Structure 1
Amino acid sequence: MKLPRLLTSLAVVAAAGLALTGCATSSATDASGADSKKLTVFLSADTNIQDLWQKTLIPAFEKANPGYTVAVDFDLHGLHDQQTVAKLTAATVQKKDPGYDLVDAGFVSQIAASGLLTKVTADEVPGVKDVPADVLKAGGNGGIPYRGSSVVLAYDTKAVPTPPKTLDDLLAWIKANPGKFTYNSPDSGGSGQAFVTTVLDKTIPADTRTKMATGYAPETETAWNDGFATLAGLNPYVYQSGVYPNGNNQVLDLLSSGQISMAPVWSDQFVTGKKNGQIPANISYTQISDPSFTGGASYLGIPSASPRQAGAEKLVSWLLSSDGQALVSDSISGYPVIALDKLPSQVQDLFKDADIAHLRPTYFASMAADLNKAWAQKVPGK
């Protein structure tokens, strides 16, 4: 097995002194039949995705598949992503159970590129044949798309009768309305990271941007300098002269309470908040252009070291079924990743104008991690 950057990941293991705590030591060949139906999903996400799994997807899957149980290992905002990748790398090399059977995290593309995931086909997971080829390919060697979303610009219609249409318009609005805009720190949630990425992309050549989205290219990061200077220049104009909330939800809370008038938010969180009444009627949303905010599919991965491959494939197969995709749509307004004609009519109507295959992609996981570190060093308090 080829494992790019394996030595780097193992060095992280050694430096952090990590052990494979809480993991079984048996190999895939001696896992018991009973254990094969006890699955664990690792989540590196915000609380809305935790709720999606624990309150909706898992109960429905267990009901549809008697005998199976699914637990969740949750890392809020992915604060320990580096350690998790190192742990998974070590488990793969040592042929030990990593302790989880399915990964839902922003770093799935990274571990796919490192050869740590099982590559599935339509033979094991029939639903992948209904996923657009380009979306499936973007997941790399083993990444499996299961929902999509994009970041949009939410605004208070009472305070902002005509919202910005382009990034330049938005930046001008922020400076003309000090204290009425903010975004969460990029390491605490994807909506803030999308805003940062979009500002950086404004001055990045297209070929450089492609490298950043499809692989790890640290030599290109000097192209971020102009964008970071722009972001640092916004400090006096964002909420309370430089307050960046911790997480997507905190931004929505500020917007809903009227403390700010505009912010980037996830489309699925916004629609869900409107549906359940947490976001008031006067808050609406739009998309900017030149460039637009980022979006795309969220990917799952089955660790190749897991001894419960068949159970994990069964869970993914169910997620890509009409029932699973309809629940994702209904629960968090996530874009379906399978063909719409496979879904109930109400889901088709809701997403008839959403094309997941043409959303502007985010950066490759390793690039996004470097972006988060650079932002923390160059932007707040500048």
Structure 2
Amino acid sequence: MTRRRTFVALAAAATATLALAGCAPTTSASVGTAATSQAVTGTKGTVTVFISGDTNVQSLWDDAIIPAFEKANPGATVKTQLDLHGEHDAQTLAKLTSAVKAGDDPGYDLIDAGFIQAAGSANLLENVSSTKISNLATVPAATVKAGDGYGIPYRASSVLLAYDADKVKTPPKTLDALLKWIKANPGQFAYNSPSTGGSGGAFVTTVLDKYLSESTRKKMETTYDKDDESQWDKGFDELASLNKSMYQNGVYPNGNDAVLQLLGTGGIEMAPVWSDQVITAKNSGTLGSNIKYTQISNPSFTGSASYLGIPKTAAHKAVAEKLANFVLSSKGQALIAKSIAGYPVISLDNVPASTRAQFAAASPSTLRPSYYSTTSADMSNLWNSKVPGK
């Protein structure tokens, strides 16, 4: 099962998530430090990973990362706790706050969740650096910086342009070319409504960005200012003008999966899709060999890194740091790529050739961050009122 991404803010206690806000490009050929996978000498004890997400993320840990880490580190044991779909993020954050303030062990040692930024901002997480987690030195500085000193980037994804290569011989390479193609091929393009999934949200964001100044765009990545949203008007007008060129004269599917299914069954010829979804579907044979993907430019679609965090009062912080370091090793990053088609966050120079080839058409080095979570929520609501049926 692929996790559901939306551009809607979390509950008030955890609105500012790194999954959808302010993450910088996650790979860079200029990063020359090699990732290491050394065993942890003398590492013993049990470390628990708390996961807020879908079962595919739990399977990544249980079936790939943990067995490899335990094999490399005899005496270390790793367990997982899952909050399916992150349905209790607000409650989890509240309980973590209480535990840390009381100096108590929260019951887990490493967090894989969308509320890392909220937890870090509340001073609930351990500060991290390459001194403690040496393989952080292999991650581009901008990506590490986006973690604000407590978030550990460990995988990434972006939205790509997928297309039926049997029908589309030369896919668009820029946003302007894509908009031109959509108008010239009515009914053959679809994106989901932004509130039902991030792939549609990324398309909307990218069109809106076409009409923003660079300074306004940068501001929207990291802060919330409702007054700036008036500058979206031209972009929303552009999106509304596309209605008659959309699938079935303006039908917007609900969810990322629905769009991918339309593409796979021949209902449309082109769509924005999540990188891990399309790569995984192709690898599993769910999508045929005729479906290919690329990244557009000027601007590209958005993408982001996912971050881990270590609670300040975790009982096994040292082992958690070693586990995070393993995840950032060449082997760990290759396991993530193989298991859920997650982009490596370390330089592609530091991963196996087969992993580099997997992302050759995805251009992970061109990722663009999306809007601040509250701004993204406003965007979705405004889209609902300004675009469909106009």
TM-score (norm: length of structure 1): 0.77
Task: Find the counterpart in structure 2 of residue 52 from structure 1.
Answer: 60
Are 2:361 and 1:360 equivalent residues in the alignment? no
* Change in CA separation of 1:151 and 1:10 when aligned onto 2, cut-off 3 Å: closer
SS in structure 1 at match of 2:334: helix
Contact 1:39–1:311 (CA<8 Å) still a contact in 2?
no
Structure 2 distance, partners of 1:242, 1:75, is 33
Once superposed, which parts of structure 1, at least 4 consecutive aligned residues long, lie more than 6 Å away?
352-355
Question: How many percent identity over aligned positions?
Answer: 53
* Change in CA separation of 1:54 and 1:141 when aligned onto 2, cut-off 3 Å: same
SS in structure 1 at match of 2:49: strand
Task: Find the counterpart in structure 2 of residue 193 from structure 1.
Answer: 201
Aligned letter for 2:78?
T
**What per-residue deviation string (whole Å, max 9, x for no partner) do you get for residues 183-230 of structure 1?**
233344332221121011111110011111233444422222332333
**Count of equivalent residues:** 350
Q: Please report how far the alpha carbon of residue 134 of structure 1 lies from its aligned counterpart in structure 2 after TM superposition.
A: 1.5
Contact 1:115–1:141 (CA<8 Å) still a contact in 2?
no
Aligned letter for 1:56?
A
SS in structure 1 at match of 2:160: strand
Are 2:166 and 1:158 equivalent residues in the alignment? yes
Aligned letter for 2:299?
P
Unaligned runs of 5+ in 1: 1-7, 12-34
Contact 1:62–1:68 (CA<8 Å) still a contact in 2?
yes
Contact 1:48–1:269 (CA<8 Å) still a contact in 2?
no
Task: Find the counterpart in structure 1 of residue 77 from structure 2.
Answer: 68
* Change in CA separation of 1:79 and 1:143 when aligned onto 2, cut-off 3 Å: same
Unaligned runs of 5+ in 2: 1-11, 16-43
Q: Please report how far the alpha carbon of residue 264 of structure 1 lies from its aligned counterpart in structure 2 after TM superposition.
A: 0.6
- The structure where helix makes up a greater share of residues is 1
Task: Find the counterpart in structure 2 of residue 264 from structure 1.
Answer: 272
SS in structure 2 at match of 1:326: helix
**What per-residue deviation string (whole Å, max 9, x for no partner) do you get for residues 97-141 of structure 1?**
656543434453454344443221223222112211122112223
Are 2:305 and 1:297 equivalent residues in the alignment? yes
SS in structure 1 at match of 2:129: coil
Are 2:132 and 1:128 equivalent residues in the alignment? no
Task: Find the counterpart in structure 1 of residue 13 from structure 2.
Answer: 9
Give matches, 1:210-249, under 5 Å. Answer: 210-249=218-257
Correspondent of 1:252 among 260, 267, 276 = 260
Highest relative contact order (Cα 8 Å, sep 6+), 1 or 2?
Answer: 2
**What per-residue deviation string (whole Å, max 9, x for no partner) do you get for residues 275-322 of structure 1?**
221111111122222211112432222343544433432321221122
Task: Find the counterpart in structure 1 of residue 52 from structure 2.
Answer: 43
Deviates further, 182-191 or 117-126 = 182-191
Correspondent of 2:151 among 131, 135, 143 = 143
Aligned letter for 2:204?
V
Contact 1:50–1:74 (CA<8 Å) still a contact in 2?
no
SS in structure 2 at match of 1:210: helix
Contact 2:192–2:199 (CA<8 Å) still a contact in 1?
yes
Contact 2:295–2:363 (CA<8 Å) still a contact in 1?
no
Q: Please report how far the alpha carbon of residue 251 of structure 1 lies from its aligned counterpart in structure 2 after TM superposition.
A: 1.9
Contact 1:10–1:89 (CA<8 Å) still a contact in 2?
no
SS in structure 1 at match of 2:192: coil
SS in structure 1 at match of 2:306: strand
Q: Please report how far the alpha carbon of residue 61 of structure 1 lies from its aligned counterpart in structure 2 after TM superposition.
A: 3.4
Aligned letter for 1:68?
T
Structure 2 distance, partners of 1:349, 1:68, is 33
Q: CA RMSD in A?
A: 3.3
* Change in CA separation of 1:56 and 1:134 when aligned onto 2, cut-off 3 Å: same
* Change in CA separation of 1:337 and 1:217 when aligned onto 2, cut-off 3 Å: same
Structure 2 distance, partners of 1:360, 1:367, is 16
Structure 2 distance, partners of 1:90, 1:366, is 25
